[in-house]
Amino acid sequence: MSRPFLRTELCDMLGIEYPVFSAGMGPVAGGAEPVAKADLVAAVSEAGGLGVIGGVAYSPEDLRAEINKVRAKTDKPFGVDLLLASNFLHVRGGIFSTPAKNAGSEQASPSRDLVPPETRDALRKMAENLGIEWLEAPPPPPTWEVPEGQSYAGAQMEVLLEEKVPVFASGLGSPAPFSRALTDAGIKIVSLVGNARAARRVAEGGADVVVAQGTEAGGHTGKIGTLALLPQVMDAVAPLPVVAAGGVADGRGLAAVIAAGAIGAWCGTAFLVSDEANQPALQKQRILEAGTEDTVVTRLYSGKTMRNITNPLIESWEASGIRALPMGLQGVLTRDLLHSISAAGRDDLLMNAAGQTSGMLTETRPASEILHEMVADASHLLGARLSQRVQVQVAV
Ligand X SMILES: Cc1cc2nc3c(=O)[nH]c(=O)nc-3n(C[C@H](O)[C@H](O)[C@H](O)COP(=O)(O)O)c2cc1C
Query: Residues interacting with ligand X, by CB under 6 A?
Result: 23-26, 35, 54, 56, 81, 83, 171, 192, 213, 216-219, 245-248, 266-270, 272, 353-355, 357
- We find the least distance from the C-beta atom of residue 188 to ligand X, in angstroms, to be 15
Q: Based on CB atoms, which residue is closest to ligand X, 140 or 359?
A: 359
Whether the CB-CB separation of 48 and 371 falls below 8 Å is answered with yes
Nearer to ligand X, 66 or 336 (CB): 66
Residue with Cβ nearer ligand X (98 or 215): 215
- Contact criterion met (CB below 8 Å) for 218 and 35: no
- Choose between 271 and 322: whose C-beta lies nearer to ligand X: 271
Minimum distance, C-beta of residue 35 to ligand X, in the bound complex (Å): 5
Full strand arrangement of the beta sheet holding 219-220:
219-220, 306-309, 295-298
Between 34 and 206, CB nearer to ligand X = 34
Q: Shortest gap between Cβ of 395 and ligand X (angstroms)?
A: 36
How far is it, in rounded angstroms, from Cα 322 to Cα 195?
Answer: 27
Q: Which is nearer to ligand X, 126 or 171 (CB)?
A: 171
CB of 313 to ligand X, least distance (A): 17
In whole angstroms, how close is the CB of 280 to ligand X at the nearest point?
11
Residue with smaller CB distance to ligand X, 96 or 132: 96
How far apart are CB 229 and ligand X at their closest, in Å?
12
CB 55 within 8 A of CB 82: yes
Chain mean position to CA 230? 18
Is 135 or 227 the residue whose CB approaches ligand X more closely?
227
Q: How far, rounded to the nearest angstrom, does the alpha carbon of residue 294 sit from its chain's CA centroid? A: 19
The minimum distance between CB 156 and ligand X, in angstroms, equals: 12
Minimum distance from residue 355 beta carbon to ligand X (Å):
3
